[in-house]
Amino acid sequence: MNNQEIVLKLWNLCNILRDDGITYHQYVTELTYILFLKMAKETGKEEQIPVDYRWDVLLNKSGQELKKFYKQLLNHLGKNCNGRIQEIYIDAISNIDDSNNLKKIINSINLVDWYSAQEEGLGNLYEGLLEKNANEKKSGAGQYFTPRALIDVITRLVAPQPGEKCNDPACGTFGFMIAADRFVKDNTNNLQDLPVNKQRFQIEQAFTGCELVRETHKLALMNAMLHGIEGNIMLGDSLSDIGKQMRDYDVILTNPPFGSKNGGERSKRNDFTYQTSNKQLNFLQHIYLSLKASGKARAAVIVPDNVLFVEGDGEKIRSELMEKCNLHTILRLPTKIFYAQGVKTNVLFFTRGKSNKNNTKEVWFYDLRTNMPSLGRNNQLKVEHFIEFEKAYIAKNRDSMSDIRWSCYKREDIKRNGNSLDLGLIRDESVLANEELPDPIESGEDIISQLEEAVDLLKSVVRELKSLEVQD
């Protein structure tokens, strides 16, 4: 049985919990608590777990005794253990009321072909479960799960190196950092080409993150542990004062949450030049302030379209970004890849300068949105979609690339256009055809959201007309 088959088997166990009212996301969290014990046994790391609360003890319980013991186990590991174990189990509660259902899950996990699972990697198995959760609309997890193909392409282009400090300030289930770790390992013979002290750095310090949602934070901890990563993953808000201690990174890869702070509350970070309630703009400030001013520290961040054109503080933050950093590339992503929200998104690639002035001379855009096939749950984003973009990105002479999707705008022209970065889309009839409103049945958007989308569409048309003046 391969990992894909194991993932499907474990995922289908969720069906037996429907009568308990368990959501998909709760199921994955619950599964994490049980899987941790079994995987500790399979990998020979049970010494971290008290003898009375190990897998075989849990396996031999049944009925009401099992239900009582399981809750006792969660409480004990969350209060009386240290390190990763305590982080994963702290404040853990069980949502499974039926002891028979709990026993069925434990027995099913016990019958998995764990030898084959370890051959393919337990971390890969767990990531498969997280991806399954994200692809299930009812779970709501798609809001923080970035498509694997996009993560892999971004990581490959940013190319984290051994010895570099990498961070994701909105790490979700830690997908970006897992990919960065895998990239380094693939290029160092699984770290064996590095001296012992540098191997320890990669394991203990190279990859870190911060996550606001407690349940998601637990999934990130488990994911990191199964991939052999021991770096600090904080539970908290990077846009609070916690974020002020997140500094001097060589690489930042992230897909921060979209939207505004509750009640329109403005940021209280006193190290931000501009105070705004727009979360993605605040994350952008956090990211370029967190990069080491070495001339080599770099970031790739996924942002919604409004970051490119919103006025007021948005224009000032874009200007500061282009002053402090070389914003060299913007990838206009296809629509509907984040189907849970249906937003239009982009990837900003930039490098922090040694100084805080005049770092961006020109910005290259790649339009992967216009004339693209409709993407979604049944036609997902693939690495193959990025082949031409990757060729243009790594080209030594970008001007030599003859690709209609590839265009460049000088900093002076961008400044004259109000520092708007809503540029680089192919101008033909398909632009408007692709800017369709979401299907209310498919996307679940309410009438207000549809009206807001229509307003954004009208604004986009106006900006397209204005930008023609820049090109001329």
**pLDDT, greater one: 263 or 204:** 204
Contact (CB, 8 A) for 251 and 300: no
Give which of 453, 440, 386, 376 is closest to 142, Cα–Cα: 376
- What are the tens digits of pLDDT across the range 207-254? 999 999 998 899 999 999 989 999 999 999 999 999 999 999 999 999
Q: Give me the pLDDT at residue 367, please.
A: 97
Highest mean pLDDT among 36-50, 67-81, 133-147, 248-262: 67-81
Contact (CB, 8 A) for 172 and 144: yes
Strand (E) or helix (H) holding 225: helix 214-226
Q: Taking residues 87-98, report their average pLDDT.
A: 91
Question: Above 80 in pLDDT, residue 159?
Answer: yes
Q: Give me the pLDDT at residue 147, please.
A: 86
Q: Give me the pLDDT at residue 390, please.
A: 97
Q: Taking residues 445-460, report their average pLDDT.
A: 48
Alpha-carbon dihedral angle through residues 165, 167, 173, 175, given to the nearest 10 degrees: -70
Lowest mean pLDDT among 64-68, 130-134, 373-377, 438-442: 438-442
Token pair 């990697």 is found at 121
Q: HEC profile for 24-92?
A: HHHHHHHHHHHHHHHHHHHCCCHHHCCHHHCHHHHHCCCHHHHHHHHHHHHHHHHHHCCHHHHHHHCCC
Q: Taking residues 158-181, report their average pLDDT.
A: 96
Contact (CB, 8 A) for 14 and 27: yes
- What are the tens digits of pLDDT across the range 387-424? 999 999 999 999 999 999 999 999 999 999 999 999 99
Lowest mean pLDDT among 34-43, 183-192, 249-258, 332-341: 332-341
Q: Which residues, at least 6 apart from 406, have a Cβ–Cβ distance to it below 8 Å? A: 364, 365, 366, 392, 398
Q: Which residues, at least 6 apart from 25, have a Cβ–Cβ distance to it below 8 Å? A: 133, 139, 140, 141, 215
**pLDDT, greater one: 344 or 284:** 284
Judged by DSSP in three states, 334 sits in: coil
Side chain identity at residue 126, one-letter code: Y
Question: Above 70 in pLDDT, residue 445?
Answer: no
* Edge-to-edge strand list for the sheet holding 233-235: 233-235, 207-211, 166-168, 251-254, 298-304, 345-352, 325-332, 362-367, 406-410
Q: Which two tokens stand for residue 13?
A: 């166990």
Q: Taking residues 30-42, report their average pLDDT.
A: 91
Residues in the chain: 472
Q: Give me the pLDDT at residue 130, please.
A: 85
* Portion of the chain with pLDDT greater than 70, in percent: 85
Calpha distance 321→344 (Å, rounded): 21
Q: Give me the pLDDT at residue 229, please.
A: 95
Q: Give me the pLDDT at residue 435, please.
A: 46
Q: Taking residues 51-77, report their average pLDDT.
A: 96
Q: Give me the pLDDT at residue 466, please.
A: 55
**pLDDT, greater one: 131 or 442:** 131
Burial of 137 (0-12, 13-18, 19+ CB in 10 A): middle
Token pair 């079994």 is found at 38
Q: Give me the pLDDT at residue 261, please.
A: 61
Question: Above 60 in pLDDT, residue 459?
Answer: no
**pLDDT, greater one: 432 or 84:** 84
Residue 203 pLDDT class (50, 70, 90 cuts):
very high
Residue 147, CA distances (Å) to 153, 333, 338 in order: 10, 12, 8
Q: Give me the pLDDT at residue 372, please.
A: 86
Calpha distance 236→245 (Å, rounded): 12
Burial of 113 (0-12, 13-18, 19+ CB in 10 A): middle
Question: Above 80 in pLDDT, residue 312?
Answer: yes
pTM of the full structure: 0.86
